[in-house]
Amino acid sequence: MNEKFFDLKKEKQDRMINAALKVFAMNGYEHASTDEIVKEAGISKGLLFHYFISKIGLYGFVYDYSVKYMMLELSTAVSKTETDYFEIMKQIWQAQLAVATNYPYMIYFLNESKKERVSEALLATEEKREVLPHQYNQFMHRVDVTKFRKEVDTELLSGMVEMTLNGLMAERFREGGFQPEIFGEEVKKNLDMLKKLAYSEV
């Protein structure tokens, strides 16, 4: 990537980043069109390639940028002393939804990138792919498991929470009706309901 990209006005940087995040998230790397990205960003194709050289250069950049941005948000949003599983999950989602106020498609892009199968795209993001999973595992290691009912499998629960909330988010994006504040309320309701089912006493 051309480092002069960061010399652009922030508004233009974000316009280009958001356009790439949206098109990659909605289509995957293989089917994402740079024509659609430049149209969404309101720039010329020559300008896009001036800064990112190629489609894979752009994909690698927005993936790296997304991971760094998400890690920064998590560092301030998730309490270092919290041990309640559902409170930690709420804080993680609060961080994700805070990200969505500036970059609406960033979390959706990161979620969809887990399904990526194109070797070129996987290679371009290989070094960063374990950063966020590792951080989430660190949060989960703090969880007080004594609060759960004996029959609750916490790994199974975490998988169910992830599939439910990420699936709900994907549905909202596909419908064209994703709104961070409203979705935040949906997240809270789902987690509160699961908490009543999973804990011995609430």
pTM of the predicted protein model? 0.91
Mapping DSSP to helix (H, G, I), strand (E, B) and coil, where does residue 83 land?
A: coil
Q: Mean pLDDT in each 10-residue stretch from start to end of the chain (202 residues)?
A: 88 96 96 97 95 96 97 95 96 94 94 94 95 94 94 91 90 86 92 93 62
pLDDT at 174: 85
Give the domains, in start order, of the chain with CATH numbers: 3-198 (1.10.357.10)
Mapping DSSP to helix (H, G, I), strand (E, B) and coil, where does residue 133 land?
A: helix
pLDDT at 123: 96
Per DSSP, 129 falls in state T
Task: Please check whether residue 102 is in contact with residue 14, taking contact to mean a CB–CB distance below 8 angstroms.
Answer: yes
Whole-number Cα distances in Å, 150 to 131, 146, 147: 31, 9, 9
pLDDT at 202: 54
Q: Which of 14, 6, 7, 4 is nearest to 42 (CA)?
A: 14
pLDDT at 18: 97
